[in-house]
Amino acid sequence: MKKHLFAVLFLLAAALLWWLSLAPRRHQMAVAEGKKPQVVASGYVPYTLAKQIAGDLAQVSMLLPANAEPHSFEPTPGALIAVKNADLFVYVSDRIEPWAKDVLASAGEQTAVVQAAQYAAASDDPHVWMDFDNTQKIARAIAFALIQKDPSNRAAYGANLKAFEKELAELKEAYQKGLVSCRSRQVVHVGHLAFGNLTKNYNLSLSALAGSSHDGENSVRRVAELIEFIKKNQIQTIFTEETLSPRLSAAVAEETGAQVLPLYTVEHVSKDDFDRGVTYGELMRRNLESLQRGLECQA
Ligand SMILES: [Zn+2]
C-alpha cells in the first residue's frame, strides 16, 4: 500500500515538473493583444537598431541622455523604473556600460534581455558594432526578441530586418571598395579607442589618444606623444570625436597643421542628430566619407 502511495506521489511530482517546464517564463511571454512592446535601450547603438527593426510597432526609449558619455553614466531612479516596466531591455555589454548591471537588477519579471555583445565575435575592442557582421547578428537578436514579444507583427519585423541587412551589405561593400587605395592608412584619432574593429577590418592602422573608455586620462604626455607622432609621420588629417571637447583636437591641429575631420562612434550622438533620429547606416556612411577624405582614398 505504502509502495503504491510512493509511486503515485512520484508520478505526480514528475507530472508537475513536466508541466512547469512547458509553462513559458514571463519574460518569454508576448505582450497583451493590441499593446506595443516597451523597449528600453541602454544607449544609442541598441536604440537606433531597435528603432530600425521595430519602426512604430514598439515604444523605444533610451536611458543614456543624448550627448552623454556612455561608459561612465550613472543610472537615475527613472532609469531603474523604465527597465522594471520594460518588455525588452537591450544593452551592449558590461564593458561598454559598466552601469548596466545596476539597471538589470531592477528588471521586471516580464523583461526580456538582449546583451548585444553576446552575438558578436570576440575582440579586444568592446565597440563591437564597428563591424558590420556583428551588427547584423545583433539586429537579428533584437528582431527575434521583438517577435517573441509581439508575434502578430512577425512579418513587419522580419521585413524591417531584411531591409537593414541589405543596407549593411551595401555598407560593407562600400567600405571594402572605398578604402582599398589610399595615400595614407594611418588613422590618428584624437579620442578614445572606439575604432579598433573598423580599422582592423580594412587594414588601417590606428593611434588613439586614450583607451577604450572615455575616462582614460588624456594626459599632457599622451597628447605630446601624439603630436610628435603626427609630425614625424607627416600626418595630414586627424580625426575627432564629435562629443569630445573640440578644443583638444583644435589644439593638436594648430600644433601640427593637420586638418580635423569627424568620426562618429554611434554610441553617443549630438542632440541634433538624436532629434533627427540619425541612423546607424547614416553615421557609418559619414565615417566612410571622412576616412576617404582624410586618408585620400580613390573612390
Ligand atoms: Zn566608447
pTM: 0.89
What is the CB-side half-sphere exposure of residue 55 using CA atoms within 13 A? 12
Asked, for residue 88, whether it belongs to a domain, the answer is: yes
Å from CA of 17 to ligand 1 middle: 45
The predicted-structure confidence for 56-75, as pLDDT tens digits, reads as follows 999 999 999 887 888 888 99
Rounded CA-CA distance 199/203 in Å is 6
Same domain, 219 and 274: yes
Give whole-number Cα distances, 226 to 190, 192, 207, 232, in Å: 9, 13, 8, 10
- The more confidently predicted of residues 24 and 209 is 209
Asked, for residue 11, whether it belongs to a domain, the answer is: no
Q: Work out the percent of the chain whose per-residue pLDDT is above 90.
A: 74
pLDDT surpasses 70 at 216? no
pLDDT of 217 reads 57
Rounded CA-CA distance 113/27 in Å is 8
pLDDT of 22 reads 65
Same domain, 106 and 141: yes
Mean pLDDT of 264-292: 95
Å from CA of 4 to ligand 1 middle: 64
pLDDT of 75 reads 92
Å from CA of 97 to ligand 1 middle: 9
Asked, for residue 255, whether it belongs to a domain, the answer is: yes
Same domain, 63 and 169: yes
* Domain count across the chain: 2
Asked, for residue 7, whether it belongs to a domain, the answer is: no
Same domain, 166 and 203: no
Same domain, 248 and 109: no
Same domain, 153 and 240: no
| Domain termination residue (choose one: 153, 176, 199) | 176
Asked, for residue 16, whether it belongs to a domain, the answer is: no
Å from CA of 172 to ligand 1 middle: 21
Same domain, 172 and 191: no
pLDDT of 46 reads 98
Same domain, 189 and 171: no
Same domain, 40 and 155: yes
Å from CA of 64 to ligand 1 middle: 13
Å from CA of 242 to ligand 1 middle: 12
* Ion ligand 1 residues within 5 Å by Cβ: 194
Average pLDDT value over all residues in the chain: 92
pLDDT surpasses 90 at 235? yes
pLDDT of 236 reads 95
The predicted-structure confidence for 16-64, as pLDDT tens digits, reads as follows 777 767 666 778 889 988 899 999 999 999 999 999 999 999 999 999 9
State which residues form the domain around 188: 177-294
pLDDT of 23 reads 65
Same domain, 44 and 130: yes
Å from CA of 274 to ligand 1 middle: 17
| Domain termination residue (choose one: 176, 195, 228) | 176
The predicted-structure confidence for 99-132, as pLDDT tens digits, reads as follows 999 999 999 999 999 999 999 999 999 999 999 9
Same domain, 142 and 40: yes
Same domain, 140 and 266: no
Asked, for residue 15, whether it belongs to a domain, the answer is: no
Å from CA of 163 to ligand 1 middle: 27
| Domain termination residue (choose one: 154, 176, 198) | 176
pLDDT of 263 reads 95
Å from CA of 44 to ligand 1 middle: 11
Asked, for residue 2, whether it belongs to a domain, the answer is: no
Mean pLDDT of 247-256: 90
**Confidence grade of residue 148 (pLDDT, cut at 50, 70, 90):** very high
Report the CATH number that the domain containing residue 74 is assigned in CATH.
Answer: 3.40.50.1980
Name, in order, each residue with C-beta under 8 angstroms of 79's C-beta and a sequence gap of 6 or more.
63, 103
Å from CA of 13 to ligand 1 middle: 51
Worst-scoring range by mean pLDDT, 44-53, 71-80, 180-189?
71-80
Helical segments of the chain, H only: 2-22, 44-54, 77-85, 100-104, 132-149, 154-178, 196-201, 220-232, 246-256, 271-276, 280-294
Å from CA of 2 to ligand 1 middle: 66
Å from CA of 33 to ligand 1 middle: 38
Rounded CA-CA distance 254/237 in Å is 12
